Structure 1
Amino acid sequence: MKRLDVIGNVSRDVTRYPDHRGGAHLGGAALFVALAATRAGRPAAPVCVLGEDLAHLPQAQRLDGIDWSARGEGAGPSTTFDLRYDLRGELVDVRTEYGAAERLTDHALAHVDRHPDDTYHVCCRRPLDAAAVLGRLVHHGATFSVDFFLPSAENMIRRTAARLNRASTVFVNAAEYLLLLSIIDTSTLREVVVTDGPRPARVWALGRQIASVTPPPRSPNEVSGAGDTLAGTFLAHRSQGATPAEALAEAVDAAARFVAAPPYPIPAQRRT
């Protein structure tokens, strides 16, 4: 089975909710997509740039299933996200310091050139130049999927619109799907997975709905990373021959379990 190379951030996150949930923990789309795919049976590697503060992650026990060989390392701190949510789990505000991830585009482009036959998932969010990366993937004829992050989704969708019909799967939430509909003809997209919090998740293929799954009721603890968990699980099961409906059911269940679980603590560096 081909490895899934996940281009995106691995970060330090601080989440805040009105009911005082949240706090500091490990985050980043590249991490959670890769971790979910690995747990669903598909080898996966974050294509990321770790700062000095997270350079020890490859030795962390809870993350030892991930293939860290595609990572880069840079001077200074890793990306940090300060994320504020409402009680429904909708993102209200985000503040970001990209740190070492400012090198992510160059690192990703070099990785694609070295491994043009790999399968990719691209987390289309800053500071990545997603248009350049998708252009390089299309140039090499690589198989790839994409997702977006609402604060930058409109800009990213517009910049990548010409390449999205080459994606195997596009992952969006309900608000991002409305942006997608306003920018491109979604009937040209092979597969679109649309999530909507506790409401049904759906799969659309060439403009036609082909699957719908309602998440099981779970009391949410941490929503940051749930969509990434869904994406990684869906991609893993699709690569193993599951139908869109079967893969969506597995992905929705994995995301529901993720939001009910405690967040990942930032592991301490091991003493030598």
Structure 2
Amino acid sequence: MPRLDVIGNISIDHTRYPDGRTIRLIGGAALHTAAAAHRAGLPAAPVSVVGTDLAHLPDDPRLTALDWSGITVVDGRSAQFTIEYDTLGCVSSLAAEYGVADGLTRHGLAWIDAHTADAVHVCCRRPLDAAPVLAALAEAGWRFSLDFFVSSAKQMIDQAAPFLPEAVAVFVNAAEHALLTDVVPSRQLRLVVVSDGARPVRLLRRGRLAAQARPPQTTAVEVTGAGDTLAGTFLAAVAAGASDGVALRQAVAAATDHVGAPALALEDR
């Protein structure tokens, strides 16, 4: 059975909302993407560096089904992100302490060198140095997809630019899409999925609209990880042979369910 390796952060996230809610949760793009792919039927492994404060994750009953062979535990603190959202659910500010995740690029390169994979998804977000990781994947001839995060998108898109035409899929929001197409013409990109809040999610092939799906209305509980959930679900659906339209609808439905579900709260140990 095919498998998806996801190179990126696993972190402790502190989310804050305008209504005063604050949540301390287990987060990180690699975790959310891999977990979504697994729920959609595609075995997935986050490839990440965590500290001793998250060393217990493989034993967490909510996460035991994931393949944890790609994480390495280093003495120290895991990456921590403080994310503030505005009334529209968009990120208004972000503060980061990377901790042991500073070793993510080195770990990702070592993983690529030592393993083979059916497909790899790269979460192009600090502190990852995306360029050498993407170069190694391209040189190895692996299928890869990638995403960005708005706070570092400009820098990461510039780093990734030489490899973007080789990506099987790129996942962005509307703001990131504008940055992306400033650097690489749409016709050079095989497939781009563009989310835009409550507006329809668009799937573009070589810059042309191939499918779209409107998210249903829902009451948001926790929006962190929604885009990653969309990406992981879409990749799993495509791996199972789904068409563009079916894969996109499944991905949008999963992201909507994620937003309405209780957060993966970090339990005190």
TM superposition score normalised by structure 1: 0.97
- For residues 71 and 117 of structure 2, what CA distance do their matches in structure 1 show? 18
1:268, distance to aligned residue in structure 2 (A): 4.5
For 1:157-236, what aligned pairs fall within 5 Å after superposition? 157-236=157-236
252-261 vs 18-27, which deviates more?
18-27
Runs of 4+ in structure 1 deviating by more than 6 angstroms, as ranges, are none
- For residues 267 and 231 of structure 2, what CA distance do their matches in structure 1 show? 24
Q: Which residue does 2:246 correspond to in 1?
A: 246
- For residues 232 and 22 of structure 1, what CA distance do their matches in structure 2 show? 26
For 1:80-159, what aligned pairs fall within 5 Å after superposition? 80-159=80-159
Q: Which residue does 1:46 correspond to in 2?
A: 46
- For residues 117 and 50 of structure 1, what CA distance do their matches in structure 2 show? 22
- For residues 157 and 107 of structure 1, what CA distance do their matches in structure 2 show? 21
1:75, distance to aligned residue in structure 2 (A): 1.3
Q: Which residue does 2:74 correspond to in 1?
A: 74
What SS class does the counterpart of residue 63 from structure 1 fall into? coil
Q: Does 1:255 align with 2:251?
A: no
Q: Which residue does 1:36 correspond to in 2?
A: 36
Contact kept in structure 2, 1:21 and 1:221, CA below 8 Å:
no
Contact kept in structure 1, 2:29 and 2:225, CA below 8 Å:
yes
RMSD (CA atoms): 0.9
Contact kept in structure 1, 2:122 and 2:144, CA below 8 Å:
yes
Amino acid at match of 2:172: V
- For residues 207 and 187 of structure 1, what CA distance do their matches in structure 2 show? 5
- For residues 103 and 155 of structure 1, what CA distance do their matches in structure 2 show? 19
- For residues 2 and 115 of structure 2, what CA distance do their matches in structure 1 show? 12
- For residues 4 and 134 of structure 1, what CA distance do their matches in structure 2 show? 15
Give aligned-pair identity as a percent.
52
Contact kept in structure 1, 2:4 and 2:117, CA below 8 Å:
no
Q: Which residue does 1:12 correspond to in 2?
A: 12
Contact kept in structure 1, 2:82 and 2:96, CA below 8 Å:
yes
- For residues 146 and 114 of structure 2, what CA distance do their matches in structure 1 show? 20
- For residues 80 and 187 of structure 1, what CA distance do their matches in structure 2 show? 37
Contact kept in structure 2, 1:22 and 1:222, CA below 8 Å:
no
| Structure 2 unaligned residues grouped into runs of 5+ | none
- For residues 186 and 84 of structure 2, what CA distance do their matches in structure 1 show? 30
What SS class does the counterpart of residue 82 from structure 1 fall into? strand
- For residues 266 and 219 of structure 1, what CA distance do their matches in structure 2 show? 22
- For residues 243 and 152 of structure 1, what CA distance do their matches in structure 2 show? 31
- For residues 166 and 83 of structure 1, what CA distance do their matches in structure 2 show? 32
- For residues 15 and 70 of structure 1, what CA distance do their matches in structure 2 show? 26
- For residues 67 and 22 of structure 1, what CA distance do their matches in structure 2 show? 30
- For residues 71 and 213 of structure 1, what CA distance do their matches in structure 2 show? 34
